[in-house]
Amino acid sequence: MTHRTHGVERVVLAQAGGLDTVIAIPWLADTYRAEIIAVTIDLGQRKEWLEEVRDRALANGALRAHVVDVRDEFARDYLVRGLKAGLFGDDPAATTETLARPIIAQTLVSIAGIEEARAVAHGDRGGSGGAALGRVVRALDPALTVLAVPASMSLPRDDRAEISRIPAALPDEPAYVDIALQRGAPTGVNGVAMPWLDLVESIQILARAHGVGPSPLVALDVAHRALEQETLSNDAERFGSRIKDEYIRMLHDGSWFSQMRHALDAYVDKIQERVGGVVRLKLFKGACTVVECQVATPSKPTIIPVAKG
């Protein structure tokens, strides 16, 4: 009979795809004498990359390697929520990673239940991300043991290289894009209604071509803020900064799934009811600026794209 230590027989590992999490598979297996179940969360990465990550995990000793597609849920319940709450103003790419923690933790807990695992593991890069992820896991299932792969095993990060790549030569002519929003959420681009994933992809193509980045959320945040300035009172804008701070606190202290967050969601949704219209943006040489802002009104509730010219 195989000897097992620390009461752990099977570990669900959050696999970000970097080489450090590949190294973590044999390390965890040897240290805890455990079977390793690798889990990679599909937040919109390339299919080929996800398949490579899965194959690499299996080749390095994982018993099974799951790739879980949470794109729609992440967009609906996290990215749109973050946009409405004004979380993307400072560093959209980093905020996106932070917003992913709760849904990653939720997925790990779910897979742990399916796999009858008693522990989950994450990489510890010496920052606060892994600890915050662990706090959400414990809040969802206090019975699970949370293991951290030592930071000394981590390698330099390379998983954000693709989203931050900027073309060597930017066009000498600007691009104009009309972004429609209703109740604070983007609904269409250039007069065409789109679901979130298609909308983001369309904006991303233009944003990358003109050096606006590293995330298409930069353009969406600029458009959203422009409409807020036209539709919200000064009191609502001032209180919005406190709401933003509370969301960030809950993302870091593991209380994202609390009743307090649901209460904040209800407040934000109510305030955002008036934030609707079309914003025309100019993308040029890395800059994203507002050209025109057309606010939807009760007498004209249908959002009409701004005519180009």
In the Cβ-directed half-sphere of 60, how many Cα atoms lie within 13 Å? 26
Q: Is the pLDDT of residue 53 over 70?
A: yes
Two tokens, residue 277: 């219209």
Least trusted range by pLDDT, from 4-8, 86-90, 106-110, 242-246? 4-8
Sorted by sequence, the CB contacts under 8 Å of residue 187 that are 6+ apart come out as 180, 181, 193, 194, 199, 303
Domain spanning 10-153: CATH superfamily? HUPs (3.40.50.620)
Question: How confident is the model at residue 129, as a pLDDT?
Answer: 72
Q: Which CATH superfamily is domain 175-232+275-295 in?
A: Argininosuccinate synthetase, chain A, domain 2 (3.90.1260.10)
* Residue positions counted in the chain: 309
pLDDT in tens, 228-249: 999 999 898 889 999 999 999 9
Average the pLDDT over 164-179 and give the result: 82
The domains of the chain are located at 10-153, 175-232+275-295
Residue 81 to residue 106: CA distance in whole angstroms: 17
Which pTM value belongs to this model?
Answer: 0.86
